């Protein structure tokens, strides 16, 4: 992948790499973000490329390595990138992200006790939704993931549905965005069994080495985007409703899961 910041020889700068976390399939992400990409391109006066990675772990590693000039990622990954690589958080998506427990319509569990000795499916164990679920399950059912319940990792959203067809996996953990990304005919076989929590939305960060003038143009563009036609099209495609400036306290809210996030990502 091309680096975000070095420039090619000659007058034209290299395209700005707009890294978007792979919370849904690459095909869906690229379609959702084309209006956003075009808006940033027109506002910044620089070519912009939307890029992602084959999973949260490689995406986060590329973020830390400086591969992206602009990054959209989960709040816990954003906090780690801020603390460990100096990435600068500038905006946050609204509304907060619902964490959902989803079951098959024809196999709805009676209670959380149905998970004991069985499996719960999830696509992104490093996601904030998954981390908050682990803590929520311990508090509300006294069940520990890894001891009482095993986490079964699915390759993508549609694979989650396949895992729910077996008797050993009564529930899947997912965000509302992941649920919406499931193929409609498969989604019709599912029911939201419980919304267990709402976590902070995705965070937009800028690379610390972006030139000050360019960083200022990007921040100004992000502030105008929600009220633009491109923003309206983006929100219609994704279900988000706003992208607004982020306060330091909102990043500090993530601190209780920073160590666990690093551990899941294989960081010291």
All structural domains of the chain, each given as residue ranges with its CATH number in brackets, are 16-95+200-264 (3.40.190.10), 97-199 (3.40.190.10)
Three-state DSSP at 119 gives: strand
Quote the CA–CA distance of 113 and 98 in Å, as a whole number: 22
Using one digit for the tens of pLDDT, what is the confidence trace for 200-219?
A: 999 999 999 999 999 999 99
Sort strands 16-20 and 119-122 into parallel, antiparallel or unpaired: unpaired
Q: Is the pLDDT of residue 165 over 50?
A: yes
Quote the CA–CA distance of 204 and 243 in Å, as a whole number: 9
- What integer best gives the mean pLDDT of the chain? 91
DSSP state of 233: H
pLDDT of residue 125: 83
pLDDT of residue 6: 44
Using one digit for the tens of pLDDT, what is the confidence trace for 91-122?
A: 999 999 999 999 999 999 999 999 999 999 99
Using one digit for the tens of pLDDT, what is the confidence trace for 55-103?
A: 889 999 999 999 999 999 999 999 999 999 999 999 999 999 999 999 9
Residue 51 neighbours by CB under 8 Å, 6+ apart:
1, 17, 18, 19, 20, 67, 68
Q: Is 48 left (phi over 0), alpha (psi -120 to 50) or beta?
A: beta
Quote the CA–CA distance of 237 and 181 in Å, as a whole number: 11
Which pLDDT band holds residue 13 (cuts at 50, 70, 90)? Answer: confident
Quote the CA–CA distance of 96 and 129 in Å, as a whole number: 11
pLDDT of residue 156: 74
pLDDT of residue 21: 94
Q: Which residue has the higher pLDDT, 265 or 193?
A: 193
Q: What percent of the chain has pLDDT over 70?
A: 95
Which pLDDT band holds residue 171 (cuts at 50, 70, 90)? Answer: very high
User: In this predicted structure, which of 135-149, 158-172, 237-251 has the lowest mean pLDDT?
Assistant: 158-172
Q: Is the pLDDT of residue 7 over 50?
A: no
């Amino acid at each position: 992948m091309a680096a975000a910041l070095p420039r090619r020889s000659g007058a034209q700068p290299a395209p700005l790499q707009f890294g978007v976390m792979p919370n849904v399939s690459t095909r869906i992400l690229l379609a959702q973000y084309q209006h956003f990409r075009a808006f940033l391109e027109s506002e910044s006066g620089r070519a912009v490329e939307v890029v992602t990675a084959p999973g949260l772990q490689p995406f986060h590693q590329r973020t830390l390595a400086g591969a992206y000039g602009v990054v959209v990622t989960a709040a816990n990954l954003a906090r780690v990138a801020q603390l460990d690589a100096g990435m600068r958080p500038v905006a946050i998506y609204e509304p907060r992200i619902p964490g959902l427990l989803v079951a098959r319509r024809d196999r709805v569990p009676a209670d959380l006790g149905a998970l004991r000795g069985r499996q719960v499916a999830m696509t992104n164990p490093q996601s904030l939704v998954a981390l908050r679920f682990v803590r929520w399950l311990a508090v509300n059912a006294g069940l520990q993931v890894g001891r009482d319940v095993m986490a079964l990792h699915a390759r993508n959203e549609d694979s989650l549905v396949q895992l729910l067809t077996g008797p050993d996996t009564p529930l899947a953990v997912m965000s509302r965005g992941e649920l919406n990304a499931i193929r409609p005919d498969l989604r019709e076989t599912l029911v939201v069994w419980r919304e267990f929590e709402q976590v902070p939305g995705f965070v937009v960060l800028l690379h610390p080495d972006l030139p000050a003038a360019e960083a200022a143009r990007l921040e100004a563009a992000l502030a105008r985007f929600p009220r633009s036609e491109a923003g309206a099209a983006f929100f219609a495609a994704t279900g988000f409703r706003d992208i607004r400036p982020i306060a330091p306290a909102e990043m500090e809210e993530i601190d209780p899961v920073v160590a666990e996030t690093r551990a899941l990502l294989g960081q010291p």
